[in-house]
Amino acid sequence: MTDRRPFDGQLALADLHSALADPALESMTFLNEVGGRHPEALSLAAGRPYEEFFEIEAIHRYLRRFEQYLTADRNLNPDQVRQAFFQYGRTKGIIHELVARNLAADEGIEVDPEAIVVTVGCQEAMYLVLRALRRDERDAVLAIAPTYVGLTGAARLVDMPVRTVRSGPDGVDLDDLAAVLHRTRGEGLRPRALYLLPDHSNPSGLSLGPAERRALLELAEREDLLLLEDNPYGLFAAASADRPSTLKALDTARRVVYLGSYAKTGLPGARVGFVVADQRVTAPSGASTLFADELAKLKSMVTVNTSPISQAVIAGKLLEHEGSLLRANEREIALYRDNLARLLGGLAALFPAGSGVHWNTPKGGFFLVVTVPFKVDDELLERSARDYGLLWTPMHHFYDGPEAAYQLRLSVSVLTPDQVDEGVRRLGRLINDQQA
Amino acid sequence: MTDRRPFDGQLALADLHSALADPALESMTFLNEVGGRHPEALSLAAGRPYEEFFEIEAIHRYLRRFEQYLTADRNLNPDQVRQAFFQYGRTKGIIHELVARNLAADEGIEVDPEAIVVTVGCQEAMYLVLRALRRDERDAVLAIAPTYVGLTGAARLVDMPVRTVRSGPDGVDLDDLAAVLHRTRGEGLRPRALYLLPDHSNPSGLSLGPAERRALLELAEREDLLLLEDNPYGLFAAASADRPSTLKALDTARRVVYLGSYAKTGLPGARVGFVVADQRVTAPSGASTLFADELAKLKSMVTVNTSPISQAVIAGKLLEHEGSLLRANEREIALYRDNLARLLGGLAALFPAGSGVHWNTPKGGFFLVVTVPFKVDDELLERSARDYGLLWTPMHHFYDGPEAAYQLRLSVSVLTPDQVDEGVRRLGRLINDQQA
């Protein structure tokens, strides 16, 4: 940039933050746009929750339920209730007690509500944690490949390198994790944390077994590593699968920062997530604070606080189901289970052993990964959308390198069961035409 | 940090981002807490809007009004309306057309709705713009001293130095601005933008006159500088004052990025703000995009999108008043005018010329600054709250240096007229006791 270049409402991309030219942010834009260009295509791509059970009246009901709670359970007078809805409110949020109750009910996680920061979706939680942990250019974050693009993007915004660890069949390859830690330190970097989705990961669909969870916690202890546990899909276990304990429920040494989302289990439009950060932060003076309070300081400079109206909507939904989103999502859980089973059944019927087409078998959640004997790129996705009326996600968007050139991600969250069947048929035609 | 230090849920502040030990973020926390410790004290400190006119039923009404607009004016079918409320939605927001209409109605600003990004309050808009403009360690932002702490904090989060410019009696000292630009460039830094509140600034209460606005735009053109215009208080002109054109309304060369807030004119609890960024960004390939689209890419990695439910609340308020917040705020505008006049009158009655106590006379807004002949620090504020039942804001929080040791900020936005009178009486006792 020259200092006195002529200007006329023109900025050079080369003068703006490097994240703006980064493939991770381009991916997000591309994936959003391709759906918009083909609105009639069936979407085995979208990861948003099923919407047929939504009704606008529920928003009004949730708001009134929270109002009633503030009055009856929290003994606020009418002025205080009004202030709670209309004014800025506490930086860490106003529904922290309800979030804590929800974590106890659905996940067996017992936390001090003061260790919770209510955020603008889980994305802000992720951003705040990385912003806090990135002190200088030596700090790095680890993530399991394939990696959720929101983590990669947030890391780019704080100029923090992401080092990836292989996932293996059980969700994380612990030997590779140890090797990556060693290698990263050898580069002079400080691996501050490992980000992962232990349950029905986006995009892989993989889950960590109970033994891997304990081994991972031990490794984190040994290696002085924080674990950033992201858990948007944990409630959506397949019919045959148990729900294993979250890392946070097993975390006796406060090694785990838990990133919570109400986008899939509450509703996306509220944009309410949270972070449980019960670690202690010690200042040079010896004074100590909760990590949650440090994250709140950063939040006050990003979004000030999470909309209390949005928080009220989520609170109302929680209150209506006695704090349990497992209960609130009974219909959705049944639907996702049925959809996943249909998808797996449909693939098995179309592609017998020896066909060269493989896929994994998730224990629940929205996603699975299909491996095919030909290259899967954005151009193929465009053709799939245009000629076959079918959207899915090329896996290369979730990798830094070329590993995923032969893979695609399928999601079953927005379709009806009949649409899943039809989606599989269209996918079959596409794959067979490619192989012909 | 040692790589293998023992851990037990302990983090060292020295290993976290430096913003966490920064006075700007400490200030925010202190100022929030002092109010909480003295809930019964009269607040000439709080900058939040008056709340006696709020009613919770309005939230329901605004939501239904927006629903009706989507159906009747935008021709969405019931599924699409439901989707608009419940799902994630467009990164740049879903009420951009209404925001554009509001800017035209109240400010005479004509912009393409595509150049608007709806944000989680004005704070996120500020953060996104600084994140985009901070390419590397050479980039700096200028701000007029005293400076809104939210700007300083956002700059800290992106590791961007803030260089301050003197305000002078007309809101900005243009000679000092030229000198600071020269000095900053001499340090090897690139001054990317000047942040300012041209109307009833927080915390100074000062406004730029029409001549200063034009001169500032010319200087920005000459010096290749963006202007970041923050305008939360522009509608609240005193009875005798005209509302001068915003910089953005005068901006023929797309030099101005306009930061909009609905916290004071809509309602704080919605956490809805916006940025108008109609500059073109040119990539090395020659391709060009709107600056708004680049900001949206960053937003997708911070908050994904602004809650559509929150947006619907603001949209409903706009629709109810035909797009004009000047109309929606008739009662508030009258109240703030009356409060400001009472505050000025009360000060004049208590402190005649020669008393050693001075203050400025803002043309509107919430704030004014009092200069006293003794030191004003946080300890005095604590005593004022405890012994006099009065909160105000020590001005040193808005300066990097010691300039403001003898100043305090008063705000008239949350009190009834009678409370303002009583607040001035308490302030009089405090000041007289200090001088005795």
User: In this predicted model, what pLDDT tens digit does every residue of B52-93 receive, in sequence order?
Assistant: 999 999 999 999 999 999 999 999 999 999 999 999 889 999
* Chain A residues closer than 8 Å to B125 by CB: none
Nearest CA of chain A to the CA of B349: how many Å? 33
Cα B11 from chain centre: 33
Tell me if B190 and A12 make a contact (CB, 8 A cut-off). no
- Tell me what pLDDT residue B7 has: 56
- Tell me what pLDDT residue A3 has: 43
Is it the case that residue A391 has pLDDT exceeding 90?
yes
Give the helix/strand (H/E) hosting A258: strand A256-261
- Tell me what pLDDT residue B8 has: 66
CA distances from B311 to A347, B59, B102, B118 (A): 41, 11, 14, 8
pLDDT in tens, A79-102: 999 999 999 889 999 999 999 999
What is the rounded average pLDDT of the residues A61-71?
98
Q: Which residue matches tokens 């933008």?
A: B193
Is it the case that residue A29 has pLDDT exceeding 80?
no
Q: Pick from A378, A374, A406, A375: which is nearest to A392 by CA? A: A378
CA angle A265, A250, A239 (to 5 degrees): 45
* Chain A residues closer than 8 Å to B127 by CB: 301-302
Q: Which residue matches tokens 């008393």?
A: B355
Tell me if A17 and B134 make a contact (CB, 8 A cut-off). yes
What is the rounded average pLDDT of the residues A360-389?
96
Tell me if A281 and B13 make a contact (CB, 8 A cut-off). yes
φ/ψ bin of B23: left (φ > 0), alpha (ψ from -120 to 50), beta (otherwise): alpha
Collapsed DSSP state (helix, strand, coil) of residue A33: helix
- Tell me what pLDDT residue A35 has: 83
Largest CA distance in chain A: 71
Q: In what order do the strands lie in the sheet with B288-290?
A: A10-12, B280-282, B288-290
pLDDT in tens, A109-159: 999 999 999 999 999 999 999 999 999 999 999 999 999 999 999 999 999
- In DSSP notation, B178-235 reads HHHHHHHHHTT-EEEEEEE--SS-TTT-----HHHHHHHHHHHHHHT-EEEEE-SSTT
Is it the case that residue B146 has pLDDT exceeding 90?
yes
Q: Work out whether strand A273-276 and strand A280-282 pair parallel, antiparallel, or are unpaired.
A: unpaired
CA-atom Rg of chain A in angstroms = 22
- Tell me what pLDDT residue A402 has: 61
Nearest CA of chain B to the CA of A354: how many Å? 41
Tell me if B270 and A309 make a contact (CB, 8 A cut-off). yes
How far is residue A161's CA from residue A154's CA, in Å, rounded to a whole number? 11
Query: Out of A91, A124, A132, whose CB is closest to B20?
Result: A132
Q: Pick from A120, A163, A150, A107: which is nearest to A295 by CA? A: A120
Is it the case that residue A243 has pLDDT exceeding 70?
yes
pLDDT in tens, A278-326: 999 999 999 999 999 999 999 999 999 999 999 999 999 999 999 999 9
- Tell me what pLDDT residue A331 has: 97
- Tell me what pLDDT residue B133 has: 97
Tell me if A25 and B297 make a contact (CB, 8 A cut-off). yes
* Chain B residues closer than 8 Å to A135 by CB: 1, 15-18
What is the rounded average pLDDT of the residues B199-215?
96
Collapsed DSSP state (helix, strand, coil) of residue B276: strand
* Chain B residues closer than 8 Å to A271 by CB: 120, 303-307, 310
Q: Pick from B370, B401, B318: which is nearest to B94 by CA? A: B318
**The pair of three-digit structure tokens given for residue A285, joined into one six-digit string:** 């003076």
How far is residue A136's CA from residue A117's CA, in Å, rounded to a whole number? 24
On the CB side of A244, CA atoms within 13 Å amount to 16
pLDDT in tens, A159-200: 999 999 999 888 999 999 999 999 999 999 999 999 999 999
Q: Work out whether strand B393-394 and strand B407-411 pair parallel, antiparallel, or are unpaired.
A: antiparallel
**The pair of three-digit structure tokens given for residue B36, joined into one six-digit string:** 């909480």
Tell me if A253 and B20 make a contact (CB, 8 A cut-off). no
Residue count of chain B: 436
Query: Out of B82, B150, B305, whose CB is closest to A56?
Result: B82
Minimal Cα distance from B120: which residue of A?
A303
Is cis: bond before A146, omega within 30 of 0? yes
CA distances from B256 to B160, B181, B227, B229, B398 (A): 20, 17, 5, 7, 24
**Best mutation target, B301, B305, B306, B314, to test chain A (most A CBs within 10 A):** B301
How far is residue A82's CA from residue A84's CA, in Å, rounded to a whole number? 5
CA distances from B304 to A28, B10, B299 (A): 10, 31, 6
Tell me if A253 and B8 make a contact (CB, 8 A cut-off). yes
Cβ-based contacts under 8 A for chains A and B: 289
Q: Does residue B347 contact residue B423 with C-beta atoms inside 8 Å?
A: no
Which parts of A397-436 fold into alpha helices (H)? 417-435
Tell me if A307 and B307 make a contact (CB, 8 A cut-off). yes
- Tell me what pLDDT residue B27 has: 81
- Tell me what pLDDT residue A168 has: 86
How far is residue A68's CA from residue B78's CA, in Å, rounded to a whole number? 29
pLDDT in tens, B239-280: 888 899 999 999 999 999 999 999 999 999 999 999 999 999
CA angle B259, B265, B271 (to 5 degrees): 65
- Tell me what pLDDT residue A43 has: 96
Tell me if B9 and A263 make a contact (CB, 8 A cut-off). no
On the CB side of B110, CA atoms within 13 Å amount to 1
Q: Does residue A339 contact residue A372 with C-beta atoms inside 8 Å?
A: no
Is it the case that residue A1 has pLDDT exceeding 50?
no
How far is residue A69's CA from residue A311's CA, in Å, rounded to a whole number? 13
Minimal Cα distance from A3: which residue of B?
B190
CA distances from A330 to A65, A146, A203, B114, B354 (A): 20, 30, 24, 40, 74
Query: Out of A154, A280, A301, whose CB is closest to B150?
Result: A301
Nearest CA of chain B to the CA of A271: how many Å? 5
DSSP tally for chain B: helices H, then strands E: 15, 16
- Tell me what pLDDT residue A8 has: 67
Cα A105 from chain centre: 21
How far is residue B101's CA from residue B112's CA, in Å, rounded to a whole number? 10
On the CB side of A294, CA atoms within 13 Å amount to 30
What is the rounded average pLDDT of the residues B35-49?
91
List Cβ neighbours of A392 (8 Å cut-off, separation of 6 or more).
A44, A45, A381, A384, A408, A409, A410, A411, A427
Minimal Cα distance from B308: which residue of A?
A269
Confidence of residue B102 (pLDDT cuts 50, 70, 90): very high
Which parts of B14-77 fold into alpha helices (H)? 23-37, 56-72
Confidence of residue A4 (pLDDT cuts 50, 70, 90): very low
Confidence of residue B168 (pLDDT cuts 50, 70, 90): confident
Minimal Cα distance from A50: which residue of B?
B87
Q: Which residue matches tokens 């923050």?
A: B230
Tell me if B9 and A278 make a contact (CB, 8 A cut-off). yes
- Tell me what pLDDT residue A142 has: 98
Q: Work out whether strand B358-359 and strand B393-394 pair parallel, antiparallel, or are unpaired.
A: unpaired
Type of residue found at A431:
I
| Residue B309 burial by Cβ neighbours in a 10 Å radius (0-12, 13-18, 19+) | buried
Of chain A, the percentage scoring pLDDT greater than 90 comes to 88
Minimal Cα distance from B285: which residue of A?
A13
Tell me if A121 and B306 make a contact (CB, 8 A cut-off). no
CA distances from A320 to A58, A264, A330, B195 (A): 10, 17, 13, 45
Residue count of chain A: 436
**Best mutation target, A77, A80, A86, A250, to test chain B (most B CBs within 10 A):** A86
pLDDT in tens, B364-407: 999 999 999 999 999 999 999 999 999 999 999 998 766 678 99
Which parts of A197-273 fold into alpha helices (H)? 210-223, 247-250
- In DSSP notation, B45-61 reads S--SPP-TT--HHHHHH
CA-atom Rg of chain B in angstroms = 22
**The pair of three-digit structure tokens given for residue B285, joined into one six-digit string:** 């390939």
CA distances from B381 to B31, B38, B44, B109, B372 (A): 10, 11, 11, 41, 14
CA distances from B112 to A130, B47, B100, B384 (A): 35, 31, 7, 49
Tell me if A269 and B19 make a contact (CB, 8 A cut-off). no
Minimal Cα distance from B304: which residue of A?
A123
Nearest CA of chain A to the CA of B154: how many Å? 5
pLDDT top residue among B201 and A404 = B201
CA distances from B237 to B195, B267, B391 (A): 21, 19, 24
What is the rounded average pLDDT of the residues B107-115?
97
Q: Does residue A363 contact residue A237 with C-beta atoms inside 8 Å?
A: yes
* Chain B residues closer than 8 Å to A25 by CB: 297-298, 300-301
Tell me if A88 and B8 make a contact (CB, 8 A cut-off). no
Domains of chain A (ranges; CATH) run 17-46+329-435 (3.90.1150.10), 62-327 (3.40.640.10)
How far is residue A11's CA from residue B227's CA, in Å, rounded to a whole number? 13
Tell me if B17 and A81 make a contact (CB, 8 A cut-off). no
How far is residue A221's CA from residue A243's CA, in Å, rounded to a whole number? 24
